[in-house]
Structure 1
């Protein structure tokens, strides 16, 4: 996990890496994602920005969290090949703060709003959802505070590289166990 304090060489390297992640998308999605990131960083000043790159799904996710743990995030900006979405980790609980019925999804917790432009983000309904998410999480962003950016993309690559071996080992054990059971039945 790479935590990058503001104003350092490490921050410049983090921003360069993030720019490479954004560059994977069509220019319109890339520009929208970058503009929305700037808006969220300003609105959620002081929160950690945790970056996940899900290469298999083709998505870049920026989670804004009061802690260094992404699963505690209030919201996430997700860039995908077909557009940009703003996810709310406790979106199901935010339904009553969504009179415009913008939240989409049917999961137990997470809901999202599709954003096609910066103007979509600037709607009062989105601000109401952000305020409700902050209240629900008991978080108060501090104007001018600078949160750290944490890149978890490399961790994910390493974890994914280990997974196939573990999956093969488990499958081999399962197959061997089934074979042993069949052999035992055949002897009976």
Structure 2
């Protein structure tokens, strides 16, 4: 049974509260780190549309310039032991000289975080700027952020290892 509002209702009034309840399912350290990463992305990309998917395996916050999931440039993925920042449009020619990104995907790769320090590194900043330059659609230059709960899985793996 779906518990989320229809995707056609942007800025659903309870979206922030709903997202907070999803994050609260995770261990406190992971919840805090994920929230910090989200706030840092929100400051850096203030017009990004956050598309939230509380999936079977993980909580995903896709950051997109449009409401189309395929236009998302980054995502923040909550796992019980770590946070991943995914670069979703890493296609042929994406330059990662320090090999910071992990994964074998031809379109998406990720950076695993156990703290937020890597987000301050020049190499990661360069990767983020490159991702923005190469994106299918740019983030708007002005406007308000939006949070849209797109999907809530009826069945989910435990979000804490002690469950």
Q: TM-score range by the shorter chain?
A: 0.7 to 0.9
Write the deviation string for residues 98-127 of structure 1: whole angstroms up to 9, x where unpaired.
221101111221100111212121211121
Q: How does 1:130-149 map to 2 (within 5 A)?
A: 130-137=128-135, 138-142=137-141, 145-149=143-147
1:3 to 2:10 alignment: yes
CA contact (8 A) 1:66 1:72 kept: yes
The structure, 1 or 2, with the larger RCO (C-alpha pairs under 8 Å, 6+ apart) is 2
The CA distance in 2 between the partners of 1:4 and 1:94, in whole Å, is 36
Higher Cα Rg, which structure: 1
Give, in angstroms, the shift of residue 130 of structure 1.
1.1
Contact 2:65 2:72 in 1 (8 A): yes
Match of 1:128 in 2: 126
After superposition, residues 38-77 of structure 1 pair within 5 angstroms as: 38-55=39-56, 57=57, 59-77=58-76
Question: C-alpha distance in 2, partners of 1:94/1:46?
Answer: 27
| 1:68-107 aligned within 5 A | 68-93=67-92, 95-96=94-95, 98-107=96-105
TM-score (normalizing by structure 2): 0.82
Q: Which runs of 5+ in 2 are unaligned?
A: 1-6, 156-163
Check the 8 A contact 2:84/2:112 in 1, yes or no.
yes
Partner of residue 15, structure 2: 14
| Range moving further from structure 2, 44-53 or 134-143 | 134-143
Say whether 1:111 aligns with 2:109: yes
Determine the C-alpha separation between the residues in 1 that align with 2:24 and 2:37: 15
- When the two structures are aligned, how many residues end up with a matched partner? 147
What is the alpha-carbon distance in structure 2 between the residues aligned to residue 116 and residue 93 of structure 1?
Answer: 28
Displaced runs of 4+ in structure 1, greater than 6 A? none
TM-score normalised by length of structure 1: 0.72
SS of the residue aligned with 1:152? strand
Gaps of 5+ in 1: 161-188
Whose helix fraction is larger, Structure 1's or Structure 2's?
1
